[in-house]
Amino acid sequence: AQRVTQPEKLLSVFKGAPVELKCNYSYSGSPELFWYVQYSRQRLQLLLRHISRESIKGFTADLNKGETSFHLKKPFAQEEDSAMYYCALINAGNNRKLIWGLGTSLAVNP
Amino acid sequence: DVKVTQSSRYLVKRTGEKVFLECVQDMDHENMFWYRQDPGLGLRLIYFSYDVKMKEKGDIPEGYSVSREKKERFSLILESASTNQTSMYLCASSSGRAQYFGPGTRLTVL
């Protein structure tokens, strides 16, 4: 079955510390992976997608097909990074629906 | 920029009422989605539409219906609201893989 797993419901780090939000997936085929972010009282928005191979707000994520992972990383966390983060996978059999992880709430403490 | 708007940010209804949630997108996207977002449960797809007058059930369609008479507008209907439908409802649109979200409607059913 196609599945996205975010093992941590809550991740708490101090400002300036490295942060890694984990995402593992189960999928047979060539997936496209996304990270979405929702800041407090704001809409859910696309943070980055693996095919773009870009860094957004200092975050990067590399697709590791061997480990079926797409972890989100940032070397130095900032307080404004505190948000809910969702990992999602496109269903290539029907490229309209996303399969979502349950989300990780990141708290960056001063 | 993709603009997805939802008719209400907050809505309070009584059990048994018929409730309409409206979503409008201005980017000529073919696909539109309705999700509900609940703490600990992530995003769950209710219905989606890939064309005018076309719809498909998502993961939790029970108690909901949808309408898409025009490409830019996708309505979610609760035929007879119940307290367990109290939730945050998110609308999204896409032309391909990445989805773009509205601000959400927080519905409370008393």
Residues B45-67 have pLDDT tens digits of 999 999 998 999 999 999 999 99
Q: How far is A59 from chain B (nearest CA, A)?
A: 18
The dihedral built from the CA positions of residue B85, B87, B88 and B94, taken in this order, carries a sign that is: negative
Residues of B within 8 A of A46 (CB-CB) are 98-100
pLDDT of residue A53: 75
Contact A103 B42 (CB under 8 A): yes
Contact call for residues B13 and B108 (beta carbons, < 8 A): yes
- CB contact under 8 Å between B94 and A49, yes or no, is no
Low-confidence ranges of chain B (pLDDT < 70): 1-2
What residues of A are in contact with residue B40 (Cβ under 8 Å)? 9, 102
CA distance A48 to A52: 7
- Please indicate whether, in this complex, the C-beta atoms of B48 and A43 are within 8 angstroms of each other: no
CA quadruple A20, A3, A102, A57: dihedral positive or negative? positive
Q: How far apart are the CA of A97 and the nearest CA of chain B, in angstroms?
A: 8
pLDDT computed for residue B98 by the predictor:
86
